[in-house]
Structure 1
């Protein structure tokens, strides 16, 4: 899970890295609201941990701009040292999905982050991801397009899953490599090879391509009838 932490307290940041990284999380950190907003816009995150009190832009303004100006649907867990109803209501009203009051349990933070990601992916009640003509069964690892089963490798499955979760948004090369290989991507151009293999199965038998490459930017899924 790729998490953006927007927090100016170095001790809290260190605790989050020390607890979450061994659980398999990949963390990016921003120490102020402006830097956090920039990272959130430029990258695809599974969830954001956002402190309410930040230098420069505070957490409420960061959240508001992400939702209203950039229409970014990433789940946001807001951290606040203020245990008041007003602060909680304000955070939720500008688009935060959940909140924790400091000091908080790291075990509870882990559970809430995972619950937010499951909720936004609708994976608690749904085992199949669909976009336009593509269907991916997460229980069996099988995929189909327009009702026809397509052959995919285990890595092709991971790539397609990442693209479906973001469709039709662009997914950067770095984000795809992180989904497939974690923090240890191969030095060779392996991703391009696997993208080519996935495209052969996903697009070649059909009239219109759905797996689109944006040179220098990344990859995305587009509707089969896109012009």
Structure 2
């Protein structure tokens, strides 16, 4: 899952990014409303965390102009020091999915993010390919009931491939979803990640294989499909 954090306070912004990344999210962070709107024009996010007190515009304007995510209007949790009831009502009426007053417990914020994402999800059904099963809520992957030991990015890659299967996922889309805008991505980063996941699937006995579509991207298909790796 990819989040956009809009917070102008440097130390709080850094804390949010560090904690959420540690918990398995990909996170982009900006400090202004204009940067937030620009980020949404170029990147697909699953949810955003929005501070209302931004230096260039009221956060409610960002909320009202937010982009659509995978499942409709981008889910949003508002953060603010404004404790007036009217402010909370204005945020909710503008489309906020949840509201937290500063100061807050970052663990509670994480829990609320996950709750918002669950509500926004089109389906909580298990994703499958052959004997490979992936639970979106727990983010656990299993082969014949045996859990796979996957890194955070391997899990994100597997989910993206399963969601599209048997369609092709282009390499540029994977780079955008698996890495934040502040990270430098080497030319072979995706290839190396795919290679590690492919090896783990093979070792586990998964009846699913990642196929390279040269010059385009990758797709996940059941072994019985007899697709040929390039």
TM above 0.5: yes
CA contact (8 A) 1:141 1:157 kept: no
Give me the whole-angstrom Cα distance separating, in 1, the residues matched to 2:156 and 2:24: 18
State the match for 1:23 in structure 2.
23
User: Would the alpha carbon gap of residues 30 and 157 (structure 1) be closer, same or farther in structure 2, given more than 3 Å must change?
Assistant: closer
Give the Å deviation of 1:14: 2.4
Deviations 1:88-137 (A, max 9, x none): 111111111111001111110111111111221155xx32469xxxxx96
Give the match for residue 53 of structure 1.
53
1:1-227 matches, cutoff 5 A: 1-66=1-66, 73-122=73-122, 126-128=124-126, 138-139=134-135, 157-163=158-164, 172-178=173-179, 187-188=187-188, 190=191, 194=210, 196=212, 199=219, 201=221
Q: Any stretches of 5+ residues in structure 2 without a counterpart?
A: 136-140, 144-154, 166-171, 196-209, 226-230
Give the paired residue count: 179
Query: Does the CA-based 8 Å contact 1:5-1:29 persist in structure 2?
Result: yes
Whole-Å separation in 1 of the counterparts to 2:34 and 2:44: 17
TM-score, normalised relative to structure 1: 0.62
Query: Residues 96, 186 of structure 1: CA spacing in aligned structure 2 closer, same or farther, 3 A cutoff?
Result: same
1:200–1:107 distance in 2 versus 1, CA, 3 Å? closer
**What residue ranges of structure 1 are gaps of 5+ in the alignment?**
131-135, 143-153, 165-170, 206-227
Q: Deviations over 1:132-153 (max 9, x none)?
A: xxxx9645879xxxxxxxxxxx
Aligned to 2:168: none
1:47 and 1:117 in contact (8 A); partners too:
yes
TM-score norm. by structure 2 comes to 0.61
Distance 1:85 1:163 in 2: 43
8 A contact 1:127–1:137 mirrored in 2 = no
Q: Which moved more, 1:29-38 or 1:11-20?
A: 11-20
Q: Is the 8 A contact 2:4 2:47 kept in 1?
A: yes
Change (3 A) 1:46 1:155: closer
Hey, what's the Cα distance between the residues in 2 that align with 1:159 and 1:20? 19
